A and B are shown apart, each in its own frame.
Chain A
Amino acid sequence: DGGITQSPKYLFRKEGQNVTLSCEQNLNHDAMYWYRQDPGQGLRLIYYSQIVNDFQKGDIAEGYSVSREKKESFPLTVTSAQKNPTAFYLCASSGMGFTESSYNEQFFGPGTRLTVL
């Protein structure tokens, strides 16, 4: 089955430690995204990547880093510089629509809940 996997589902870390969240997709999608979800805040875009070895900052990139060495993988590192890292993190992917009529919707993984103690 094609889809997006995120691991682990729950993650606990001590304050001041960096932590990396995994996101893998086998949908052959070019674009991948990371969102952060807080209660009552909806989803906010952290980073996105439209092609291997390239990525762009979203609305709340401070304190986060990403890499895109392979098409199917887009790991997110939450660094110690992120002031309030406890949240639910969602990864998504989509195809690339090169015309307005072929705009692609995003497919989401099951999420990782990060708790910083």
Chain B
Amino acid sequence: AQSVTQPDIHITVSEGASLELRCNYSYGATPYLFWYVQSPGQGLQLLLKYFSGDTLVQGIKGFEAEFKRSQSSFNLRKPSVHWSDAAEYFCAVGAYAGGGADGLTFGKGTHLIIQP
């Protein structure tokens, strides 16, 4: 069974500073990796995804993530954060099931706080 670890429960970053959110996964085969963002009381929005190919993937809102197979990691980065980036961030892994997609396994999330 797959699993996802997000080691940081809370992260505080000053506005304009760079950001890196960590994600480690455990899965025996090729993982399908996702980062989602959630504002309070809302659903989840997909930031970016990795299926195969280039290990550095670009997403929406200026986010990027790098897949490192040797480290089983898929860390999310942003060069300069804005106050509107304050939210909960979830890393997720999916397993390909013959015939289509099944459920995702999520990490417990990282709460991002932006300091003025």
> In the complex, what distance in Å separates the CA atom of A105 from the CA atom of B50?
10
Given known pairs A90-B43, A108-B44, A111-B42, the reply for A40 and B101 (CB within 8 Å) is no
Stretch of A64-72, A77-85, A96-104 on the interface side: A96-104
Verify B107–A111 contact, CB threshold 8 A.
no
B5 CB, min distance to chain A CBs, angstroms: 10
Task: Kindly list chain A residues whose C-beta atoms are within 8 Å of the C-beta of B106.
Answer: 35, 42-44
The yes or no answer to A58 lying at the interface (CB within 8 A) is: yes
| Min CB–CB distance A1 → chain B (angstroms) | 14
Q: Which of B41, B42, B96, B108 contacts A97 (CB 8 A)?
A: B96
Contact of A110 among B36, B42, B49, B104 (CB under 8 A): B42
Distance, CA A110 to CA B44, complexed state (A): 8
Q: Is A30 within 8 A of B103, CB to CB?
A: no
B25 in contact (CB, < 8 A):
no
- Among A103, A107, A108, point to the contact of B94 (Cβ < 8 A): A103
Question: What total of chain A residues lie within 8 Å of the partner, measured CB to CB?
Answer: 35
Task: For chain B, residues 97 to 116, give those with C-beta under 8 angstroms from any C-beta of chain A.
Answer: 99-109
- Whether B90 is near chain A, meaning CB under 8 Å from some CB there, is yes
| Chain B interface main SS type | strand
Residue numbers of A with Cβ under 8 A of B are 4, 30-31, 33, 35, 40-45, 48, 50, 56, 58-59, 90, 92, 94-98, 100-101, 103-111, 113
Distance in angstroms between the alpha carbons of A93 and B22 in the assembled complex? 26
Partner of B102, one of A43, A44, A48: A48
Contacts of B55 in A (CB 8 A): none
B73 → chain A closest CB, angstroms: 17
Q: In the bound complex, how far is the Cα of B55 from the Cα of A76, in angstroms?
A: 37
A31 to B94, CA, bound (A): 14
A103 contacts across to B, CB distance below 8 A: 32, 51, 94, 96, 101
- Would you call A98 and B100 a contact (CB within 8 A)? yes
- Say yes or no for B30: interface residue by CB 8 A criterion: yes
- The answer to whether B43 and A30 touch across the interface, beta carbons within 8 angstroms, is no
